[in-house]
Amino acid sequence: MSTDLIINVTHYETRVALMENGTVSELFIERSGERSIAGNICKGRVVRVLPGMQAAFVDIGLKKAAFLYVSDVYDNLGEIEKIMTGNEEIDEDAELHQEQVEATWPGELHIEDRLQEGQEILVQVAKEPLGSKGARITSHISIPGRHLVLMPTMDHVGISRRIEDETERTRLRELVLQIKPDNYGFIVRTAAEGADSDKIKAEMDFMLKLWQNIQKNSENCQVPGLLYQEPAVILRAVRDLFTQEVDKLIVDSQAEYEKILKFVETFMPALKADVKLYEEPEPICDAYGIEMEVQRALGKKVWLKSGGYIVIEMTEALTAIDVNTGRYVGKRNLEETILKTNLEAIKEIAYQLRLRNIGGIIIIDFIDMEKEANREKVFNRLSDALEKDKSRTNILKMSELGLIEMTRKRTKENINRILREPCFYCDGEGYLKSTGTMCYEIFREIERDHAALFGRTIMVTAHPEVVHLLYDEERHRLEELETNLQARITVKADQSLHLEQYDIYALP
């Protein structure tokens, strides 16, 4: 299987796509001014303790107070050994540790015995704010590196389950146990497989020094205050996704290409030759089919090759997926037609869950099958399809109604809510592309027609809300585009246009 890591960089947005056999399997989008806060370490103040919910609200400098469960409160006496992390890119490592230490959970622990209102506490963002919910935080700090994850609140060594060779697992465990200081924990990540002791030791020393600086800065930090910020999406992707299994990393920015090369030379020199700079005139997202997959991921209905389709409906806490035969009529009998449609839908469902980053409770309504053997076959195929998913999933057996209930770990907003906003035409009952997304689509459309529009006077007609954003927050990017094209861009509002409609043409 060929695997590529594609990075598209613009002034307004960064896209990172992990492609498997030419198909986008995972997509990360980060916009300027909207950087992810998952993994950030902050000093916060407890604003409210809720004994009835065994939780507390903590002010960490966000619009909404963050939520801290009793199980995420670090006990300095060492009673609790449980780690939570918001970095979905390292779930296979963090969840390994979580499974190993959950048995040590003491059970009888009360939030009011650990926290009081006004108390200052060092916490890490485990989950970003999702919908109407505030951020989820934990006082069990974890700092991910290329080969290791540092856990300064506990003394434990774990090995990623993705390292399957027992000899290598033993070597890495013994190596870390020999060189780590007492009272510190580490998880050995998948990328550490085959790494020598010098690399492991150098990274460990760096991470320990980083933690010591965080502790030192927390002594004089204002509350609420930021002590450590996770790297931007590009370096996170290189750190967490760029492994020996990836054939190429392709980036379309010279500046970011040089930063990536510097990072790779330091932490993974053997992969330096796999880093490529994209210099073709066609936009990289168009060349690799990413743009098409993004648009496909925003639709409710997804067609299957046979003619069947699935419908994905999302609510605040639950996602329903419905499987339909559509235009597919089969060849022999009804049961065979239904089974084939259900099996084909499984591959697409597993793909869409990863691509859209759908989490929480998921209900899949497969087409009813009469034979128990067929229902079992569908369940097993779905379990196999989700094995590659880095986010933890839990699947229940298919019910007699043909429903499968499952959960998928959710740590950040899905693509639908990143790229869209509630529709003001239908009072929030549906979704439209946001004005920001429309601005960026206009920018990309102009960049795509670079040759035809170079040196011309360009007229852009769009909805007034989009025009307002172009003249306000996005004005400097519009001016940058004019400079690059040596052109003059005029923007005109048209109230009759739908929010997602626009027109771009060159004046004579």
> Is pLDDT larger for residue 125 or for residue 330?
125
Overall average pLDDT of the 394-402 stretch:
87
Q: Per the CATH hierarchy, to which homologous superfamily does domain 3-34+234-291 belong? A: eRF1 domain 2 (3.30.420.60)
274 touches 246 (CB < 8 A)? yes
The band of 1, judged by pLDDT with boundaries at 50, 70 and 90, is: low
pLDDT for res 76: 42
3-state SS assignment for residue 152: coil
- Cβ contacts of 115 within 8 Å, gap of 6 or more: 46, 49, 56, 68, 73, 121
pLDDT for res 36: 82
Q: Cβ atoms within 10 A of the Cβ of 425, count?
A: 10
* Cis preceding-peptide flag for 224 (omega within 30 of 0): yes
Q: How far is the C-alpha of 131 from the C-alpha of 129, rounded, in Å? A: 7
pLDDT for res 280: 92
Distances (CA, A) of 205 to 145, 176, 218, 342, 453: 11, 12, 20, 51, 53
pLDDT for res 99: 46
- Cβ contacts of 455 within 8 Å, gap of 6 or more: 485, 486, 487
Summarised one tens digit per residue, pLDDT across range 50-86 is 988 889 999 999 888 999 988 888 654 333 333 323 3
Percent of the chain with pLDDT over 90: 40
pLDDT for res 108: 61
Detail the DSSP E strand segments found in 256-341: 275-277, 301-303, 309-314, 318-324
Indicate the range of 96-100, 217-221, 326-330, 403-407 predicted with least confidence: 96-100
Summarised one tens digit per residue, pLDDT across range 266-323 is 888 888 899 999 999 999 999 999 888 888 888 888 988 888 899 999 877 789 999 9
pLDDT for res 162: 81
The pLDDT of residue 501 is above 50? yes
pLDDT for res 74: 63
Q: How far is the C-alpha of 470 from the C-alpha of 448, rounded, in Å? A: 18
Summarised one tens digit per residue, pLDDT across range 427-452 is 666 778 899 999 999 999 999 888 88
Overall average pLDDT of the 29-54 stretch:
88
pLDDT for res 82: 34
Does domain 434-506 fall under CATH 3.40.1260.20? My reply is yes
- Give the domain ranges of the chain: 3-34+234-291, 44-231, 298-408, 434-506
* C-alpha closest to that of 240 among 385, 41, 33, 86: 86
Work out the mean pLDDT of the chain and round it to a whole number.
85
Residue 341 sits at the vertex; the CA angle it makes with 335 and 347, to the nearest 5 degrees, is 140
Summarised one tens digit per residue, pLDDT across range 180-231 is 998 899 999 988 888 888 889 988 999 999 999 999 998 888 899 999 998 8
pLDDT for res 107: 52
Summarised one tens digit per residue, pLDDT across range 115-155 is 889 999 999 998 888 767 788 999 889 999 888 999 998 88
pLDDT for res 330: 60
The pLDDT of residue 464 is above 90? yes
The band of 335, judged by pLDDT with boundaries at 50, 70 and 90, is: confident
Put residue 256 in one of left, alpha, beta given phi > 0 → left and psi -120 to 50 → alpha. Answer: alpha
pLDDT for res 439: 94
Quick one: how far is CA 151 from the chain centroid? 22
pLDDT for res 131: 67
pLDDT for res 75: 55
The band of 411, judged by pLDDT with boundaries at 50, 70 and 90, is: low
Instruction: Say which DSSP state 72 is in.
Output: G
Q: How far is the C-alpha of 92 from the C-alpha of 482, rounded, in Å? A: 45
Summarised one tens digit per residue, pLDDT across range 354-364 is 888 888 899 99
